[in-house]
């Protein structure tokens, strides 16, 4: 017994020694490089500019007054940085304002801004003019984390790769991580904010505002992967073709606790999915407008969405499928969603289906409008499920949705109704609250989620729709996301 106790003690000593060694080494092989310049110049003037700091980090060599990098380097801003000329015109990738990122770097903007000079023109016309350049290019096996910063006015124009990724083009075999940042008014043919060919580990508490592209106004996720989008906002982004917020032809594992609002596109003004999204949960698509189909969400081309849960589609507009257009897409689970005030010019104000939706349950349809079939239209494919409620009878989904089963006036306006995990500004993703006398209260079946859109634990039997009346904070919710649906 004594030997056993000593053995366990020895094991813990070894574990603690290993942890201490890792912590010590992580400090030894990391350098903080402080940028005190406000432009992108590279010259011996005793000022450490951002381009010089990147060179120091890439080469582990002191450049001008920038400290030599060592391992995973941290670059910190002390002021806004304005880039007024491209750093290099790469033969394949076109013009970029900063040196290419080729090593592991953390850039902490400290609340400051990195922008291409707002006085430079950006005319997306397939010509790579001298004034047009993106901000950041990632190549090789570089890992880049951006946090606490704004990337603004990037412009990628020209042909092929030249016209991709207004703020960031990621062709690295490493990983890109975004935290507490903003992408504002960036433009490109494809991926106004980001064009991704590599791996994006996390997009957390990040806002994409007023970015634009032919496809992927904010993000174009190419044959690539995004692990998680959490607590992020896509607002006022524009695409003339597909995916005002996100155009996805790669894989996205999770879109959680995020807002897509006031985005515009031809198809999928909020999100246009052409490949795989595993989970969309606890999110809101509101006031998005598609010129053709899928105001909030569009899924097509033998694509797949694993599940949509606890998500609100509100006041979205399209010709077909104001809230959601499902075309040749297989959706495995569709639980506790709310479709309210969506509009289709022709059919399917809430939902238009030409694919397969399984487990279509416990969702709420309210005041959706269309020329015909205001709530739901099955033009082809199939939907199976039950226990969905509506305040009207305009649908083509048979007994999947119980008509006139809730009273008009029993659903509140779209607003901040509190939540377990607020966004970076302490606000919450907006939702539609149930009124105290709503027939949707306690009406869900056993397939219902255990928490609501806000991350709050069900108050007795789960309510139909994304909102739970009288909900309480769940002990299962952690800071980094929703752990139980």
Residue 199's contacts (CB-CB under 8 Å, 6 or more residues apart) are: 173, 174, 175, 176, 224, 225, 226, 227
Q: Say if CB 272 and CB 238 are below 8 A apart.
A: no
Mean pLDDT of the chain: 91
pTM of the entire structure?
0.92
What are residue 152's phi and psi, to 5 degrees?
-140, 145
- The answer to whether 247 and 417 have CB atoms below 8 angstroms apart is no
Q: Mind listing the pLDDT tens digit for each residue in 417-427?
A: 999 999 989 99
Region 2-12: mean pLDDT is 40
pLDDT at 77 over 80: yes
pLDDT of residue 473: 65
Residue 248 · residue 275 · CB < 8 Å: yes
The string of pLDDT tens digits covering residues 286-308 is 999 999 999 999 998 788 999 99
The tally of CA atoms less than 13 A away on the side-chain side of residue 196 is 31
- Check pLDDT > 90 for residue 121: yes
Confirm if 112 and 137 have CB atoms less than 8 A apart: no
More confident residue, 247 or 475: 247
Question: Percent of the chain at pLDDT above 90?
Answer: 85
Please say if the pLDDT value at position 478 is more than 50: no
Q: Please, which residues have CB within 8 angstroms of residue 260's CB and are 6 or more apart in sequence?
A: 234, 235, 245, 270, 271, 283, 284, 285, 286, 288, 296
Percent of the chain with pLDDT over 70: 91
| pLDDT on residue 18 | 46
Residue 465's pLDDT band, with cuts at 50, 70 and 90, is very high
Q: Are 157 and 191 in contact (CB under 8 A)?
A: no
Mean predicted confidence (pLDDT) in 467-481 = 64
pLDDT band at 16 (very low <50, low <70, confident <90, very high): very low
- Collapsing DSSP to helix, strand or coil, 8 comes out as helix
Strand partners, 352: 325, 377
Whether pLDDT at 482 is above 60: no
Residue 85's pLDDT band (cuts 50, 70, 90): very high
Per-residue model confidence (pLDDT) at position 27: 43
* All structural domains of the chain with their residue ranges: 1-29, 198-485
What lies within 8 Å, CB to CB, of 236 at 6+ separation is 209, 210, 262, 263
* CA nearest neighbour of 137 among 108, 111, 174: 174
Contacts of 364 (CB under 8 A, 6+ apart): 337, 338, 339, 340, 388, 389, 390, 406, 411, 440, 464, 465, 466
Q: Which residues pair with 309 in a beta bridge?
A: 281, 335
pLDDT recorded at residue 63:
96
Exposure string for 168-187, b = 16+ CB within 10 A, e = fewer: bbbbbebbbbbbbbbbbbbb
Q: What is the mean pLDDT of residues 80-91?
A: 95
pLDDT tens profile 376-408: 999 999 999 999 999 999 999 888 999 999 999
pLDDT of residue 7: 43
Residue 72 backbone dihedrals phi, psi, to 5 degrees? -80, 105
- Chain-centroid distance, C-alpha 289: 18
Give the DSSP H or E segment for 13. Answer: helix 2-28
Per-residue pLDDT at 474: 52
| C-alpha count within 13 angstroms, C-beta hemisphere, residue 234 | 38
Q: What would the mean pLDDT of 247-260 be, rounded to a whole number?
A: 98
Give the ranges where 98-164 is alpha helix by DSSP (H): none
Q: What is the pLDDT of residues 19-42, one digit of tens each?
A: 444 433 444 467 999 999 999 999
- Tell me the C-alpha to C-alpha distance, in Å, between residue 348 and each of 285, 316, 369: 16, 12, 8
**pLDDT band, very low/low/confident/very high, at 140 (cuts 50, 70, 90):** confident
Q: Over range 92-99, report the average pLDDT.
A: 95
């Amino acid at each position: 017994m004594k030997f056993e106790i000593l053995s366990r003690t020895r094991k813990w000593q070894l574990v603690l020694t290993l942890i201490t060694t890792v912590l010590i080494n992580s400090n030894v092989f990391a350098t903080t490089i402080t940028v005190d310049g406000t432009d992108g110049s590279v010259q011996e003037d005793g000022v450490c500019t951002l381009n010089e700091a990147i060179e120091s980090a890439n080469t582990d060599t002191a450049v001008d007054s920038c400290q030599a990098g060592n391992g995973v380097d941290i670059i910190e801003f002390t002021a806004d940085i304005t880039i007024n000329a491209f750093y290099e015109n790469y033969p394949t990738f076109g013009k970029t304002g900063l040196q290419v990122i080729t090593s592991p770097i953390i850039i902490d903007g400290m609340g400051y801004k990195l922008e291409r000079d707002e006085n430079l023109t950006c005319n997306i016309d397939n010509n790579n003019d001298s004034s047009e350049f993106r901000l950041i290019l990632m190549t090789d096996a570089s890992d880049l984390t951006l946090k606490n910063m704004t990337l603004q006015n990037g412009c990628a124009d020209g042909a092929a790769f030249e016209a991709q990724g207004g703020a960031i083009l990621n062709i690295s075999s490493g990983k890109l991580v975004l935290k507490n940042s903003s992408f504002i008014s960036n433009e490109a043919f494809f991926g106004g904010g980001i064009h991704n060919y590599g791996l994006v580990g996390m997009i957390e508490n990040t806002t994409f505002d007023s970015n634009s592209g032919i496809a992927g106004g904010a993000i174009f996720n190419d044959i690539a992967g995004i692990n998680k989008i959490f607590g992020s906002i896509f607002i006022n982004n524009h695409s003339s073709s597909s995916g005002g917020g996100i155009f996805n032809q790669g894989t996205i594992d999770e879109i959680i606790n995020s807002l897509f609002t006031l985005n515009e596109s031809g198809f999928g003004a909020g999100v246009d999915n052409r490949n795989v999204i595993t989970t969309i949960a606890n999110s809101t698509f509101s006031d998005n407008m598609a010129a053709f189909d899928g105001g909030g969400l569009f899924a097509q081309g033998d694509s797949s969405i694993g599940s949509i849960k606890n998500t609100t589609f509100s006041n979205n507009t399209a010709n077909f499928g104001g809230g959601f257009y499902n075309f040749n897409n297989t959706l495995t689970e569709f639980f506790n969603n709310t479709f309210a005030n969506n509009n289709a010019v022709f059919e399917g104000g809430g939902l238009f289906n030409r694919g397969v939706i399984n487990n279509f349950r416990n969702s709420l349809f309210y005041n959706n409008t269309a020329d015909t079939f205001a709530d739901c239209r099955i033009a082809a494919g199939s939907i199976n499920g039950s226990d969905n409620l509506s305040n009207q009878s305009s649908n083509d989904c048979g007994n999947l949705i119980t008509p006139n089963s809730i009273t008009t006036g029993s659903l509140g306006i779209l607003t901040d109704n509190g939540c377990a995990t607020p966004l970076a500004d302490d606000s919450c993703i907006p939702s539609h609250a149930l009124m105290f006398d709503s027939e949707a209260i306690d009406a869900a079946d056993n397939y219902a989620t255990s928490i609501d859109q806000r991350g709050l634990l069900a108050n007795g039997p789960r309510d139909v729709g994304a909102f739970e009346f009288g909900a309480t904070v769940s002990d299962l919710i952690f800071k980094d996301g929703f752990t139980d649906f």
